[in-house]
Amino acid sequence: MIIAQKKRKENIAEYLLYMWQVEDLIRANGSDMQRIRENIVGRYGQPPEVCEEISRWYGELIDMMRSEGVMEKGHIQINKNVIIALTGLHLQLLKSPKEMVYQAAYYKTLPYIVQLRSKSGEEDIPEPETCFVAVYGYLLLKMQGREVSAETTEAVQQISTFLAVLASKYAEESNREIPSKEQNV
């Protein structure tokens, strides 16, 4: 919860990857709140009242996962909403003549996206989601200590660069100031 709040404000891409990891941690702990308290919440080293708040947050996520039918696999709607927002922004940026840097990052990444989609057979998922799936899969392999080929590492580096540009554009869009009434006069 604490990390999620911080990441949501600072970097939407890191936030989404973190939230996918939280979903997997919940699954790995059998959606059992006692196990989550022991294995996850207890390791935060926070005062009891903060630990209780974190536990409530995990409990709410478990409830969402149950009600949305994603206890075994998939993502809760709040995470899907991030993908929807990023996909909308992605499409908007691709159409904008002012976004040459973004478009260059996208076209440099596109061959990897095409390759990933052809391997996975999941061509109907949005391109940003394909990128997140690739990065998350790579992170899981690294956490498991499994060997990753140089080609995969190169692809993930380019995809990560692209996602960083998208996250930066998202932050710009989110932080854009609304003109005051005085400026409109």
Q: Which pLDDT band holds residue 5 (cuts at 50, 70, 90)?
A: confident
Grouping H, G, I as helix, E, B as strand and the rest as coil, residue 76 is coil
Query: What does the pLDDT average to over 137-148?
Result: 94
| pLDDT at position 108 | 98
Q: What is the pLDDT of residue 36?
A: 96
User: What is this structure's pTM?
Assistant: 0.88
Tokens read off for 86: 């990023």
Residue 111 — very low, low, confident or very high, per pLDDT cuts 50/70/90?
very high
What band does 1 get if pLDDT is binned at 50, 70 and 90? Answer: low
Tokens of residue 78, six digits: 């709040």
Stretch 104-119: mean pLDDT:
95
Answer yes or no: is pLDDT of 184 > 80.
no
DSSP, collapsed to helix, strand or coil, labels residue 124 as coil
pLDDT-based confidence at 176, cuts 50/70/90? confident
State the Cα–Cα distance between residues 54 and 40, nearest whole angstrom: 10
Task: Round to whole Å and give the CA distance between 158 and 174.
Answer: 24
Least confident of 3-17, 53-67, 124-138: 3-17
Going from N- to C-terminal start, the domains of the chain cover: 2-67, 79-175
Cβ-contact 61, 22 below 8 angstroms: yes
Do 20 and 79 form a contact (C-beta atoms < 8 A)? Answer: yes
Residues 61, 76 contacting (CB under 8 angstroms): yes
The span from the CA of 13 to the CA of 90, in Å, is: 13
